[in-house]
Amino acid sequence: MKLQTLLMSVIALTICFTANLVWAGKIVIKGSTTVLPIAQKVAEIYMKDNPDVKISISGGGSGNGIKALIDGSTDIADSSRFIKQKEVKLAVEKGSYPVPFAVAYDCIVPVVHPGNNIMNLTMAQLKDIYMGKIKNWKQIGGHDRPVVVISRDTSSGTYEVWYKKVMQKKRVFPRALLQASNGAIVQAIATNKNAIGYIGLGYMTGSVKALKVNNIEGSAETTLNGTYPISRPLYMFTPGWPKGDTLNFINFLVHPEKGQKYVSEAGYVPLY
């Protein structure tokens, strides 16, 4: 055991040492798990283009990201919400002014089986369905079939948007089925005529039908003009105006032909 630990630490030390010698820049990114796939995807491409920059990314949630930003233990904080006044104050007291960058939009669309005749639901109807109040599709003008409600695991960012925007922090009823990914929801709905679920816009396929919400179709356009209700901007915060590698990375990320291309690949709506 002891020998192994020693060996491991020697290896780790060697790696750290050479890393410091070889790589000039290092960017630390922490925060929201919703923004994590974007950061990961773009960082991968960025590091390929700039092999001298090392980017380390971790999740932990928006709150933890901003906490790290205040502590000064991260260069960029990912957040799926805007920074709170209290957090800004804390950061200023510690000597840095947080600067927000919108990096993408999150757009969640309700989906049903293509054989379902429902085309549109209001936010109130969606909430009632997910609270278990609407049990049959005929209650809202559909076929006489039971409603099978499919939700996401409670720790996912997609669930978080649904919980805040649609449920208004009321609980999804316990009988709702759970799927662990957007893909699994599509799979479950494509094979069940009774089912309703919700997915990120980037995961839409022909095997499920997207519903309009309050008569507005969920799309990149309605997300960007703010009319579609189940969407939100995603941010990265930096302590003060970014410099050096961090600035280069942010520029790369918000560039329409560079980073933003990969935003839609990660399942989100790009800024432009």
Helix, coil or strand: residue 80: coil
- Kindly state the smallest distance separating residue 219's Cβ from another protein, in Å: 27
Kindly state the helix (H) or strand (E) to which residue 244 belongs, with its residue range: helix 244-254
- Kindly state the smallest distance separating residue 155's Cβ from another protein, in Å: 4
Tokens coding 15: 């790696």
- Kindly state the smallest distance separating residue 193's Cβ from another protein, in Å: 8
- Kindly state the smallest distance separating residue 3's Cβ from another protein, in Å: 12
DSSP 179-238: ESSHHHHHHHHHT-TTEEEEEEGGG--TTSEEPEETTB--SHHHHHTT-SSSEEEEEEEE
Q: Which residue number, 30 or 54, has a Cβ lying nearer to another protein?
A: 30
Q: Which residue number, 35 or 220, has a Cβ lying nearer to another protein?
A: 35
- Kindly state the smallest distance separating residue 162's Cβ from another protein, in Å: 12
Ramachandran class of 196: left when φ > 0, alpha when ψ lies in -120 to 50, beta otherwise? beta
Q: Which residue number, 131 or 188, has a Cβ lying nearer to another protein?
A: 188
Q: Which residues contact 13 (CB under 8 A, 6 or more apart)?
A: none
Q: How far apart are CA 113 and CA 150, in angstroms?
A: 12
The residues with which 101 forms a beta bridge, in sequence order, are 236
Q: Which residue number, 84 or 171, has a Cβ lying nearer to another protein?
A: 171
Chain residues in the site for another protein (CB under 8 A): 1, 33, 59-61, 64, 146, 148, 153-157, 159-160, 169, 171, 174-180, 184, 187-188, 191-195
Q: Which residue number, 123 or 167, has a Cβ lying nearer to another protein?
A: 167
